[in-house]
Amino acid sequence: MKILLASSEVEPFAKTGGLADVCGTLPRELRRLGHEVVVFLPAYRTVRRASVPITATDVQFAVPVGSKLVTGRLLESRLPDSDVVVYLVENEHYFDRDQLYGENGGDYSDNCERFVFFCRAVLEVIRLLDLEIDLIHANDWQTALLPAYLRCELDSTEPYENIASVLTIHNLAYQGRFWHWDMLLTGLDWKYFNWRQMEFFGQLNLLKSGIAFADAINTVSPTYALEIQTAEQGYGLEGALQHRAGVLSGILNGIDTQVWNPRVDPHLSMNYGVENWREGKAKNKATLQTQMGLRVDPKVPVIGIVGRMASQKGWSLILPVMQHWLETIDAQWVVLGTGQPEFESALASLRSAHAGKLGVSLEFSNPLAHLIEAGSDLFLMPSQYEPCGLNQMYSMAYGTVPVVRRTGGLADTVIDASETAIAQGVANGFSFNAFLPQALEQSLARAVWTYQSQPDVWAQLVENGMNADWSWGQSARQYAELYERTAVLFRAERQHV
């Protein structure tokens, strides 16, 4: 099959979160399985910082955006260590900006227009380059108009009429909601602006449009696929998702095991594997403690946190527990992240009060993220919701035991160290249900107690995490099956029409 994957983020070109990791790795793995894949991404200013060469092409195009005809140009690159072609859609006005989606805490006011242009450009390039695509894989709201264009506008137009579509929802909280007049920018008929398709409480909702028109939908973990069909986690789209439940599934993300592998990771002070994790982790722990200005002490448990400082990640649980523990318990904390100013400033003031016990780095630093995964004993992820989550898998691959809330992908990857799970030899972390500081604190206390007084159980947790297969191989196979299943269904439906 020939797949076109369209995304607003692809590692190593542009990244704000896990979406980029998925869209940078999945195409390479699909290629390994023998599929043809091309990737499309906007040519943001940041793409020029990528380590891979980008070349200009002579492909230029003009596409309708509302009542305007907007021109663009195509750049070309490859995913690292692969022959997967990446097409970068260039338009200086839309994409040559400091950030991907917005600045100073606000979104760019023309985000709808920017991604209408991007989707239109992808479709136009399919025709111009005669790409012979079988299936378009769209990701999140930024590319969710692609299935809508295929079904609403191009259903019987060459070369689009045989293209099936899959939409992956990486995070339902971000839906691409705009005022209703932006419907004009899409160029689609107003008849689609109804509560079953593109309209959402009077607004245009791009993710909902994709949910309505994609031939199949998936999310990034099986548990999240169920959770988003409930009122608690459906963000108002639970009805639309229930309506498509027959073609809605969950596929857990993998991790890039070339990049996230303690045996070869260049950011560590010592590389290690499951056979020498004690020595390897001790070395990296000492380096981490030194780097973060903490007391170098092999015995004290180090609790690591890496991630966006958004309420989704459970900061309202972390901060009170951290404060209490800093005052009363001999444990060290290491935090790396950027995000909401109130969380950043709360951390900064906790750090000045407890400098020797808490290390905080309010930046985006890939090397430090790797060192924290290797040098911590425990990794904290008490998310309110978590579509898949990558950091808990990174931590397990590095022998760092995760303490997580049992939701979404965290529920699908972390097996709590209950008596039964320990007896069966399958435990790999700690998890809790209630979204409450007390529940986190109890789990964390259980984890620290196990670390300090149950070395055999601790070794089981570490080694189960390190021995598990978190690679993309299995996930990519599931995506390939999803594409094939969707294409078969799509063709069958066509024949009936």
What's the closest the beta carbon of residue 395 comes to ligand ADP, in angstroms? 10
Q: Which is nearer to ligand ADP, 157 or 366 (CB)?
A: 366
Among 304, 307, 375, 429, binds ligand ADP (CB under 6 A): 307
Task: Determine, following the binding rule CB under 6 A, whether residue 258 of this chain makes contact with ligand ADP.
Answer: no
The footprint of ligand ADP on this chain (CB under 6 A) covers a number of residues equal to 17
Shortest CB 369 distance to ligand ADP, Å: 4
Binds ligand ADP (CB under 6 A): choice among 21, 124, 265, 412: 21
Sheet containing strand 85-90, edge to edge, reads: 55-65, 68-78, 85-90, 36-42, 2-6, 135-139, 164-169, 216-219, 248-250
What is the distance between the alpha carbons of residues 430 and 456, in angstroms, rounded to a whole number? 16
Q: What is the largest CA-CA distance in the chain?
A: 70
With H, G, I as helix, E, B as strand and everything else as coil, classify residue 404.
strand
Q: Which residues pair with 77 in a beta bridge?
A: 86
Cα–Cα distance for residue pair 163/147, rounded to 1 Å: 9
Which residue reads 């403690």 in tokens? 289
**Is residue 290 part of the contact set for ligand ADP (CB under 6 A)?**
no
- Find the part of the chain contacting ligand ADP (CB under 6 A) among 95-103, 320-328, 383-391, 482-490: 383-391
Q: Identify which of residues 11 and 215 has a Cβ nearer to ligand ADP in the complex.
A: 11
Stretch that binds ligand ADP, among 14-22, 36-44, 51-59, 200-208 (CB under 6 A): 14-22
What does 185-219 look like in DSSP terms, one character per residue? HHT--GGG-STTTTEETTEEEHHHHHHHH-SEEEE
The residue within the footprint of ligand ADP, chosen from 301, 304, 337, 429 (CB under 6 A), is 337
The Cβ of residue 452 has, within 10 Å, a number of other Cβ atoms equal to: 15
Nearer to ligand ADP, 291 or 452 (CB): 291
Residue 12 binds ligand ADP (CB under 6 A): no
Q: d(Cα 323, Cα 354) in Å, to the nearest integer?
A: 9
Q: Binding to ligand ADP by residue 400, rule CB under 6 A? A: no
Cis ω for the linkage preceding 341 (within 30 of 0):
no
Tell me the Ramachandran region of residue 295: left when phi exceeds 0, alpha when psi lies from -120 to 50, beta otherwise.
beta
Binder of ligand ADP out of 390, 422, 466, 476 (CB under 6 A): 390
**Which of 215/386 has CB closer to ligand ADP?**
386
Say if residue 71 is exposed, middle or buried (CB neighbours under 10 Å; 0-12, 13-18, 19+). Answer: middle
Strand partners, 74: 89
Minimum CB separation of residue 386 from ligand ADP in Å reads 7
CB of 337 to ligand ADP, least distance (A): 5
* Interface with ligand ADP, residue 474, by CB under 6 A: no
Instruction: Please say which residue, 197 or 395, places its beta carbon nearer to ligand ADP.
Output: 395
CA distance 308 to 330: 26
Q: Does 147 bind ligand ADP (CB under 6 A)?
A: no
Interaction of residue 338 with ligand ADP, rule CB under 6 A: yes
| Locus of tokens 């199949």 | 216
| Least gap, CB of 14 to ligand ADP (angstroms) | 13
Q: Segment contacting ligand ADP (CB under 6 A): 198-206, 302-310, 426-434, 468-476?
A: 302-310
Residue 58's Cβ-count burial label (10 Å; 0-12, 13-18, 19+) is exposed
Piece in contact with ligand ADP (CB under 6 A), picked from 63-71, 129-137, 318-326, 385-393: 385-393
Q: Which of 89, 214, 302, 336 binds ligand ADP (CB under 6 A)?
A: 336
Identity of the residue, 193 or 260, whose beta carbon is nearer to ligand ADP in the bound complex: 260
**Exposure of 104 by Cβ count < 10 A (0-12 exposed, 13-18 middle, 19+ buried)?**
exposed
Q: How far is the CB of 92 from ligand ADP (least distance, A)?
A: 28
Binding residue (CB under 6 A) for ligand ADP from 73, 78, 267, 308: 308
Instruction: Work out which of 8, 289, 391, 471 binds ligand ADP, going by CB under 6 A.
Output: 391
120 or 137: whose CB is closer to ligand ADP? 137
Taking CA atoms, 66 is separated from 63, 182, 194, in Å, by 10, 8, 19
Residue appearing with tokens 């005809």: 69
Interface with ligand ADP, residue 139, by CB under 6 A: no
| Cβ closest to ligand ADP, residue 306 vs residue 403 | 306
Q: Determine, following the binding rule CB under 6 A, whether residue 306 of this chain makes contact with ligand ADP.
A: yes
Nearest residue to the partner ligand ADP, using Cβ = 18
Sheet with 199-200: list strands edge to edge.
177-178, 203-205, 199-200
3-class secondary structure, 14: strand
Q: Is the dihedral of CA 384, 386, 389, 392 positive or negative?
A: positive
Q: How many residues does the chain have?
A: 497
Contact window for ligand ADP (CB under 6 A) among 49-57, 262-270, 334-342, 460-468 = 334-342
99 binds ligand ADP (CB under 6 A): no
Residues 353-372 that bind ligand ADP (CB under 6 A): 364-366, 369
Binding site for ligand ADP (CB under 6 A): 17-18, 21, 306-308, 336-338, 364-366, 369, 388-391
